[in-house]
Each structure stands twice: as structure tokens, then as C-alpha cells.
A and B are shown apart, each in its own frame.
Chain A
Amino acid sequence: MWFYEKKLQYPANVRGCDLGMAKYLFAQYGGPDSELSAAVRYLTQRYTMPIPQAKALLTDIGTEEMAHWEIIGTLIYKLTDGATPEQMRQAGLGDHFAQHDNALYPHDAAGVPWTAAYIQATGDPITDLHENMAAEQKARTTYEHLISLTDDDGVIATLSFLREREVVHFQRFGEALMLVREHYQHKHIFY
């Protein structure tokens, strides 16, 4: 089970209202390579991991991704705080406003709703770990695109933190891949 801790993992600040950037940040709130996809992917795949190291790692990285999802949500909340319907319309968030007002909703930067089709759990741990390494790279690239789209120092610092986490997670999934493969070699199972 989980307990909520009433704090963010990283102190996420913004300079002020920026609806254009808020719209782009939805990429990481409900897009294909979003923090939501990452959390659901790892917390779903973990049941069929064969060794304790991998069960622990997918649980803990999956949990950290939920904290990242909260950080992205916080950035969007702060960047849209107090925006009027007319301002939302002018920033390309009129479609969002029509259905969600100023609430958050898991869709991507273009308004496409999140779907479980963004993730996979094949039951083959080697395959799933490769997917996760690819997912970390895709998220890292998305953060680089997002950093290039803003000059807000608070947003850049927060996105740079999240981008670096993708690098660390990639290394850990790589280590899990090596350990799982070693486990199968001992058992004389080859994929």
C-alpha cells in the first residue's frame, strides 16, 4: 500500500502565469511518455519480475514517477492559476477550458486523452526492461524539448531535475536487465 506524504519531491516554482507553457507541459502530464505512463507501466510490470532486485526497483521507480506526476501537475496548476476563459482561449487552451475549466486532466499537449495503450506489460522481464529503458530516453528527450520552450528559471530548474532522474532511472533499469539476464543464465533459460 501507499501513504501520501504532504510535500513535493522537488520545490517547483514558476515566475508567473504562462498558459502557453502550461499547454506544452501536458505532454508530461498525460502524453505517451508522461510521468503517468511511467508510473502505471512500472507498477503494472513489477508483478512478473523474477528477482527481488527488479521487484523492488520497479516498485520504487514507479512510486517516484507518481511524485513526478505531482510535480508536473503543480507546474501546470501554478502556470494557469487565475487565468480567465478568454486568456485560456487565446493560449490554445479553449478546448481544454470547455471540458475542464481550470482543472487538470490527463491529456497530452494537443488535448489527446491518456490511454493505457501507451504502455506495455508483456510478461517477459527482458522485454519489459528494454521498454522501460526506451521510455526513460523518450521522457528525457521530451524534457529537453520542454526546456527549450521556456525562459522561466523556476520551470527550467524543475524540468532539469526531472530530466536528470530519467538518466538515473535508465542506469538502474540497465542494471536490472543485467541482473535478470544473469538470473536466467544460472537457470539455463535463454531469451
Chain B
Amino acid sequence: MHDYASMVEMLREIQALEFAVYDLALFLDTHPCDKRALEDHTKLVHRLNQLRKVFEDRYGPLRLDSQSPYPYRYINDPWPWEIHY
């Protein structure tokens, strides 16, 4: 079992990466031919997917289509609005 502070710390790192991806994605929506933006997006998506996998293996699924050990772990507390960041 890992402690709460480490869970929150990794969650914050995921939030940062996912946010960077999202802001780049909105840029790409109106600039689909911008190669440099797309390259940055690709790199960050790769890092995000890796980190998300590590987090989910350690602390449980973030999505209902992530694999879960028995018993189904997606439902476990804390839910996002209950976490002190």
C-alpha cells in the first residue's frame, strides 16, 4: 500500500501532463497543419500514457475501461472532489 501523499503527487503530475496535451490539442483544432505543435503533442501524449499506466497499476483505474484487479477497484474512494491536493 502506498501513502496518500505519493498518490496525490503522481495525480498532480498527470494533471499537468494532461492539461498540456489538452491546451495543445485546442491549438491543433484550429492549426491542424502545425508540425511543431503536433510533435510536442505526440511527445507529451507518450509521457502521459506511460505515467497513467504506472498510476493505475499502483492506485487503481482512472477510467471504467481500464483493467481492474478483483474486486473491481474503479469505485474506490477517494473520488476527485474528496481529495485534498
Judged by DSSP, the binding face of B is: helix
Question: What distance in Å separates the Cβ of A46 from its nearest Cβ neighbour in chain B?
Answer: 12
Candidates A6, A168, A169, A179; contact of B74 at CB < 8 Å? A6
A137 within 8 A of B: no
B62 within 8 A of A: yes
Binary B-proximity of A2-43 (CB < 8 A = 1, otherwise 0): 011111111111000000000000000000000000000000
Question: What distance in Å separates the Cβ of B45 from its nearest Cβ neighbour in chain A?
Answer: 15
A152 within 8 A of B: no
Binary A-proximity of B22-55 (CB < 8 A = 1, otherwise 0): 1101110111100000000000000000000000
A4 & B63 in contact (Cβ 8 Å cutoff): yes
Residues of B within 8 A of A5 (CB): 62-63
Question: What distance in Å separates the Cβ of B27 from its nearest Cβ neighbour in chain A?
Answer: 8
Question: What distance in Å separates the Cβ of A22 from its nearest Cβ neighbour in chain B?
Answer: 13
